[in-house]
Amino acid sequence: MRTAEIGRYWSVALRILAVAAFYYGAARLGLLQQLVGGQVTPLWPPTGVALAGLLVFGLRIWPGIALGAFLVNVSIGPTALAVLAIVAGNTAAPVCAYLMLRRTDFRDRLDRLRDVLALVFLGALAGMLISATVGTGVLVLSGALDAGDFWPTWSVWWTGDAMGVLVVTPFLLALRRFRWPPKARPRRWIEATALLLGTLFATILATGTTSAALLFLVFPFLIWAAIRFQLAGAATCALGVSTLAILAAARQSGPFADLDLFADMVTLQAFNGTTALTALLLAAVITERNETHEEIKRLCARLAEMVAEIEPRRDREG
C-alpha cells in the first residue's frame, strides 16, 4: 500500500474518531437537561454535530456517529438490544437527512434561502422522524416507558433532535467558515460585544419572569445579528437564546413555571423554533441581497470599462 493511501486512511480514521468524540461530548451536555426517561431532552446537540460532520467530511464518517451514539447509550439504555436499535436510529436519522439535502443541491454556507428551507424541512423536521420513532418505540417495547407515554415522549425526542439540527448545525457550519476581517474597525468589535451582551441580557430577563410576552424581547437582537453579521451572528445568538430558554424550562421557571410536560414543550419548542427560523431565514435573505448587490457592482464596473474602451475608438474613427 502506498504512503499516500495510508495517509488518506489515517485521515479518515482521525475524522471518524473526532466526530465520535464531539458527538459524545455534545450528548453529555444534552443529557444534563433530560426531561423524559433519563435520556430524552428538548435539545439534542449530537444531531447537529452529526449532520454538520456529514456535510463537512462526507458520508464516510458515519461510523463516528454510530460509535458516539453507542458510547452515550450503552450506559443509559434499558437493554443491549434496545441500545443497538437506538444507535441505529440515531445514526440513520442524520445520514438520511444528509442524503436528502444533497439531492437538493444544498450548500453548507447557508447563503441562500432555499438552503435554509431545506435544512429546516428536510434536515430537521423530516430527517429526525427516524430517530424519534425508533428511539421511542424501543423504549416502549423494552418496558422503559408505558405505552401511554409514547406520543409525549416521541414529541420531545423529535423536537429535541430537530432543534439540534436547527440550532447546532448552522452554528458549527458558520464557525468553520468564520474569518474576522483583519482590518475590522474597533467599532465593529464594540458592536459585536454589545450584540452578544444585549442578547444574553434580554434572554435572561425574558426567561426570568412569568410573562410569556417578554419572550419577544429577544427578536430585535436576532434581527440585528442577522442584518449586521449574517449567519455567524444569527447562528450564535440563536444558540445562546435557545440554550438559556431550555435551562429555564428545565427549572420550570419564568414563563415555563406551573406547566405540565406537554405545555412546557409546546411553549419551549415554539419559542426556540421561531427564534431559529427568524435568525436563519433573515440571515440568508440578507446574504443573498449582499451578494446580488456585489454582483451588480461588478457588472457595472465591467460595463464602465467596456464603455471606456469604446470611446477612444469612436474618437479615432470620427
3-state SS track over 207-233: HCCCCHHHHHHHHHHHHHHHHHHHHHH
Per-residue model confidence (pLDDT) at position 103? 94
Query: Could you give the CA distance from residue 89 to residue 69 in angstroms, rounded to a whole number?
Result: 10
Q: Tell me: do 142 and 190 sit in the same domain.
A: no
Q: Are residues 87 and 158 in the same domain?
A: yes
Residues 65, 93, single domain; the answer is yes
Entry pTM: 0.90
Identify which of 6, 107, 99, 15 has the alpha carbon closest to the alpha carbon of residue 60.
15
Q: What is the pLDDT at residue 281?
A: 94
Torsion sign (Cα): 98, 103, 108, 114: negative
Nearest to 96 by CA among 49, 128, 55: 128
Same domain, 155 and 256: no
How large is the C-alpha radius of gyration of the chain? 23
CATH number of the domain enclosing 20? 1.10.1760
Please indicate, yes or no, whether residues 100 and 204 belong to a single structural domain of this protein: no
Q: Are residues 140 and 114 in the same domain?
A: yes
Same domain membership, residue 160 and residue 26: yes
Examine the domain organization and report whether 19 and 162 are in the same domain.
Answer: yes
Residues whose CB is less than 8 angstroms from the CB of residue 42 and which lie 6 or more positions away in sequence, other chains included: 33, 35, 156, 159, 160, 163, 246, 249, 250, 265, 268, 269, 272
Which range marks the domain in which residue 243 is found? Answer: 182-318
Q: Do residues 172 and 192 both lie within one domain?
A: no
Closest CA to 153 of 184, 179, 131, 125: 131
**Domain end call among 145, 177, 209:** 177
Per-residue pLDDT at 162:
93
Element (H, E) at 143: none
Identify the pLDDT of residue 169.
96
The pLDDT, as a whole number, for residue 209 is 83
Pair 46, 112 in one domain: yes
pLDDT at 239: 94
Find the length of the chain: 318
User: Last residue of a domain, which of 177, 205, 237?
Assistant: 177
Residues with Cβ within 8 Å of 128's Cβ and at least 6 positions away in sequence, in order, are 47, 93, 97, 158, 161, 162, 165
Does residue 275 share a domain with residue 147? no
Q: How many domains does the chain have?
A: 2
Give, for all 318 residues of the chain, the pLDDT tens digit. Answer: 567 677 788 889 999 999 999 999 999 988 877 655 555 678 899 999 999 999 999 999 999 999 999 999 998 877 889 999 999 999 999 999 999 999 999 999 998 999 999 999 999 999 999 999 999 999 999 888 888 889 888 888 898 899 999 999 999 999 988 877 677 788 888 999 999 999 999 999 999 887 878 889 999 999 999 999 999 999 999 999 999 998 888 788 888 887 777 777 788 888 999 999 999 999 999 999 998 889 999 999 888 888 777 766 655 665
Residue 40's pLDDT is 62
- Spatial separation of the C-alpha atoms in residues 165 and 171, rounded to whole Å: 10
Give pLDDT, residue 312. Answer: 66
d(CA 192, CA 163): 25
116 and 16 in a common domain? yes
Position 315 scores a pLDDT of 58
Among 156, 177, 198, where does a domain finish? 177
